[in-house]
Amino acid sequence: METSIWSHAESVMPFVVSEYQVFDEKKQLIYEQRENHQTRNEIHCEPTIETSELTFRFVRPAENVPVSVFGVDIN
């Protein structure tokens, strides 16, 4: 029987994007994430920003792994 003490064969989840950036309509960097290991991220901008466009740039985790976004919720 396996135990949680043993290391896992995939210490890095292959479909989780570890690096990404968010830019506004002026192509100014709003947010940058490095070494992400979560499947869900919340970004809180302080102070609040106003923009008419957001651009996301993702670094692929591997050449043969596609980048996928399941949703973006803006409040």
The two three-digit tokens of residue 37, written as one number: 């290991």
Give 32's strand partners. Answer: 21
Nearest to 56 by CA among 38, 37, 41, 75: 41
Of how many residues is the chain composed?
75
Beta-carbon neighbour count of residue 71 at 10 Å? 5
Record the pTM.
Answer: 0.77
Q: Name the one residue in this structure whose structure tokens are 């409040």.
A: 75
Q: Where are the domains of the chain?
A: 19-59
pLDDT in tens, 23-59: 999 999 999 999 888 888 999 888 899 999 999 999 9
State what percent of residues in the chain have pLDDT above 90: 35
